[in-house]
Amino acid sequence: MRRHELTDESWAVTEPFLAPPRMGRPVRDRRQVVNRILWKLSTGAAWWDLPERYGPWKTVYERFRRWSADGTWDRLLAHVQQRCDAVGAVDWTVTCVDSTTVRAHQHAAGACKRRPRVPGKRTTPRQHRPDEGLGRSRGGLTCKIHLAGEGGCRPLAVLITPGQGSDAPQFIPVMDRIRVGRLEGGRPRTRPDHVGGDKAYSSRRNRCYLRRRQIKHTIPEPRNQRANRQSRGSRGGRPTGFDKTIYKGRNEVERTINALKNSRAVATRYDKRAYVFHGTITVASIRLWLRP
């Protein structure tokens, strides 16, 4: 067994969610297909460069694309998180939110659009579709991965946006994606005990959101926001509490990002479509949750 392939325990968890297709020729060994996907995830190679021992590359790609489109990977990740939470393996003490910028390969720039040409008017430059999570920043063509990580250095929620966007507006969408079900039934858990983040997430909107949900938080206040609050006197509100000991635990989400980027297909975006790249990140997250 190679280092990137599934163990027997991991395959026992994965197999029920990878149902055979209703149409077309069925795949005899679905475990081999998943091992091919994991090989591509680890190496970041092109699909057509899959080793011959894995069979036709197009079969592997079509299965991966289909499972990314119909939400199979998302359901599998939710099930793995549910199993870990049932045995107390999810650390809800402090959940940290952070983001990382991913450089997009030139082959990922295919899903773009051009405004229709109007006679007598100047042609507008090419623009990337906003729903594909691609944008141009100082570093070139990039996208940004926003995630919330638990104390065990594993992702709870992931969101993809264009690389030039800021972090603060994506804080609430990421927090709303935290949803871990319970094996015994009932409402899923969506609130961690404490939330941490850097100065980029400091905003009045985000703090009101956390207070409304009764979630304690440790987010440092930038100097300009602190000066603005103090200049308003009693109307500026009370200073936010800041615990340096809890803030030091923010390195857990940075270690989670590093663990995800150990997969070269995540460290560099090669996928044109956002839902395919989201599937790539989800498979890398599943691998982190399945590790012993």
pLDDT at 111 over 60: no
- In angstroms, the CA 159 to CA 289 distance is 18
Average confidence (pLDDT) over 259-268: 95
Instruction: Report pLDDT digits (tens) over 175-234.
Output: 999 999 998 888 999 999 999 999 999 988 999 999 999 999 999 888 877 787 777 776
Right CATH for 8-18+28-109+128-290 from 3.30.420.10, 3.30.470.10, 3.40.47.10, 3.40.50.1100? 3.30.420.10
Angle between helices 274-290 and 30-43 (to 10 degrees): 100
DSSP-derived 3-state class of residue 244: helix
Answer positive or negative: Cα dihedral of 267, 268, 271, 273. positive
Alpha helix positions (H), 70-132: 72-86
Averaged pLDDT score across all residues of the chain: 85
pLDDT at 16 over 80: yes
Domain residues of the chain, as ranges? 8-18+28-109+128-290
The tokens for 35 are 């091992």
> What pLDDT does residue 130 have?
59
> What pLDDT does residue 122 have?
47
The region, left, alpha or beta by phi > 0 then psi within -120 to 50, assigned to residue 140 is: left
Strands 216-218 and 194-196: parallel
Residues 86-106 as b or e (16 or more Cβ within 10 Å = b)? eeeebbbebbbbbbbebebee
Of 97-106, 109-118, 227-236, highest mean pLDDT: 97-106
> What pLDDT does residue 52 have?
84
Spatial contact of 232 and 125, defined as CB atoms under 8 Å apart: no
pLDDT at 253 over 60: yes
Spatial contact of 99 and 167, defined as CB atoms under 8 Å apart: yes
pLDDT at 86 over 90: yes
Cα–Cα distances in Å, from 80 out to 5, 23, 191, 227? 17, 28, 18, 45
**Residue whose C-alpha is closest to residue 290's, from 46, 96, 101, 17:** 17
Cα–Cα distances in Å, from 24 out to 63, 117, 284? 12, 41, 28
More confident residue, 54 or 9: 9
- 131, 137, 140, 141: CA torsion to nearest 10: -10
More confident residue, 246 or 114: 246
> What pLDDT does residue 213 have?
95
pLDDT at 244 over 50: yes
Residue with the two structure tokens 């699909």: 47
Put simply, whether the predicted model's pTM sits higher than 0.95 gets the answer no
> What pLDDT does residue 125 have?
45
Average confidence (pLDDT) over 46-65: 88
Cα–Cα distances in Å, from 100 out to 72, 144, 158, 200? 25, 6, 11, 12
Average confidence (pLDDT) over 233-241: 63
Instruction: Report pLDDT digits (tens) over 122-149.
Output: 444 445 565 788 888 777 889 999 999 9
